[in-house]
Amino acid sequence: MKKVGKLSIGWKIILTVLPFLVALIALGIGRYWISPSEVIVSICAKFTGTAGLSDMAEKTLWNIRMPRIILAMLVGAGLSCAGCAFQSLFANPLATPDTLGVASGASFGAALGLLMGFGMLGVQMTSLLMGACAVILTWLAGSGKGRGLSTIVLSGIMMGSLFNALVSLVKFVAVEESQLPAITYWLMGSLGSAGYETLKLGAPPIILGIMVLYLFRWKMNLLPLSDDEARSFGTNIRLLKGITIICATGITASCVSMCGQVGWVGLLIPHMCRMKFGSNHLSLLPASISLGATFMIIVDTVARSVVAAEIPVSILTAIIGAPFFIILMRRSGGWQL
């Protein structure tokens, strides 16, 4: 696999501008169409205090679409970043943000919150708490003297199965007419509940996790190495792995707490970026963050616009991701790291 170094100036500009350009276009797309020029007028009016668009257009842009697009950017960037980190940590291109069972735990917390009749913030808090519990249980079960990352992965699979069973239990006891449809729909993944209050709670862990991993990206190339090999580079590999796990699981739990399980993003985007930009994290991680955000904005825009009833985003990501991933695999001649 090629080891490309830093991104060129051209690619840096493209990857920086692309998510915001797509977001600008997505702001105008929907059942109530707003042209790109009107979107720009409204944005300028917010900063200058001048007259903007009609009340309906302003409310559609700023109260409905803007928080949803911000959430899509955060979720796409976060899951891609977490997937990239886990694939390097476990030296496995099939590793996903749910490798340690955090998404299953967060899903159980959200389902439990919906069962107990909590509001969206309560559901979000319960989801974050259970996601953290899943990671702690995974670490306690898999860590110890003489145990490696493979044991932690097996523990994560076990915890994921346990919490998936608990989700099934919650669905079994839920009221069929009201609670069960809400739980089922939420688990399919949707950004429909996006709001500024939700973002205040869920955005900081994602942003902080991405920032920390971005700052450590030049060291992440050492993650697959053994302790002795990493020590020769002057790096505390145990600390680096611990930081990577904490950041990636925090990002994943926060994403799941806001919009349910969204599959394929953390698997497809890093693998696609690795094929184009190489396995050096100086280029791989920024590319994954940018293209993950762009991909998620596009998918969510299609989900809310293509038909009258909103399509759960996890359905679209699977429909797009699975065939595309197979094509990538066949073109590359197998899995690459």
What are the C-alpha distances in Å from 171 to residues 110, 164, 190, 269?
12, 11, 18, 31
Inform me whether the pLDDT recorded for 78 exceeds 90. Answer: yes
pLDDT tier, 1 (very low <50, low <70, confident <90, very high otherwise): very low
Tell me what pLDDT residue 309 has: 79
Domains (ranges, CATH) in the chain? 20-332 (1.10.3470.10)
pLDDT tier, 215 (very low <50, low <70, confident <90, very high otherwise): very high
Q: pLDDT tens across 20-73, in order?
A: 999 999 999 988 888 888 888 888 888 887 767 788 888 889 999 999 999 999
Chain mean pLDDT for the chain: 87
Tell me what pLDDT residue 57 has: 86
CB neighbours (10 Å) of residue 324? 14
- Look at residues 189, 262, 213 and name the one whose alpha carbon lies nearest to residue 81: 213
Tell me what pLDDT residue 146 has: 60
Tell me what pLDDT residue 45 has: 85
Task: Encode the chain in three state secondary structure.
Answer: CCCCCCCCHHHHHHHHHHHHHHHHHHHHCCCCCCCHHHHHHHHHHHHHCCCCCCHHHHHHHHHHHHHHHHHHHHHHHHHHHHHHHHHHHCCCCCCCCCCCCHHHHHHHHHHHHHHCCCCHHHHHHHHHHHHHHHHHHHHHHHCCCCCCHHHHHHHHHHHHHHHHHHHHHHHHHCCCCCHHHHHHHHHCCCCCCCCHHHHHHHHHHHHHHHHHHHHCCCCHHHCCCCHHHHHCCCCCHHHHHHHHHHHHHHHHHHHHHHHCCCCCHHHHHHHHHHHHHCCCHHHHHHHHHHHHHHHHHHHHHHHHHCCCCCCCHHHHHHHHHHHHHHHHHHHHCCCCC
- Look at residues 212, 153, 190 and name the one whose alpha carbon lies nearest to residue 310: 190
Tell me what pLDDT residue 332 has: 61
Identify whether the C-beta of residue 34 lies closer than 8 Å to the C-beta of residue 58.
no
Identify whether the C-beta of residue 158 lies closer than 8 Å to the C-beta of residue 141.
yes
Segment 255-259 shows an average pLDDT of 91
Segment 149-176 shows an average pLDDT of 90
Tell me what pLDDT residue 144 has: 66
Phi then psi for 190, rounded to 5 degrees?
Answer: -155, 140
Inform me whether the pLDDT recorded for 280 exceeds 70. Answer: yes
Inform me whether the pLDDT recorded for 337 exceeds 60. Answer: no
Q: How far apart are CA 84 and CA 266, in angstroms?
A: 7
Q: How far is CA 194 from the centre of its chain?
A: 15
Residue for token pair 């009749």: 117
Q: How far apart are CA 115 and CA 280, in angstroms?
A: 45
Inform me whether the pLDDT recorded for 96 exceeds 90. Answer: no
Inform me whether the pLDDT recorded for 85 exceeds 50. Answer: yes
pLDDT tier, 190 (very low <50, low <70, confident <90, very high otherwise): confident
Tell me what pLDDT residue 3 has: 53
Q: How far apart are CA 235 and CA 232, in angstroms?
A: 7
Q: How far apart are CA 85 and CA 91, in angstroms?
A: 10
- Look at residues 306, 214, 319, 308 and name the one whose alpha carbon lies nearest to residue 262: 319
Token digits of residue 24:
């600008």
Q: What percent of the chain has pLDDT over 90?
A: 44
Tell me what pLDDT residue 244 has: 92
Identify whether the C-beta of residue 298 lies closer than 8 Å to the C-beta of residue 225.
no
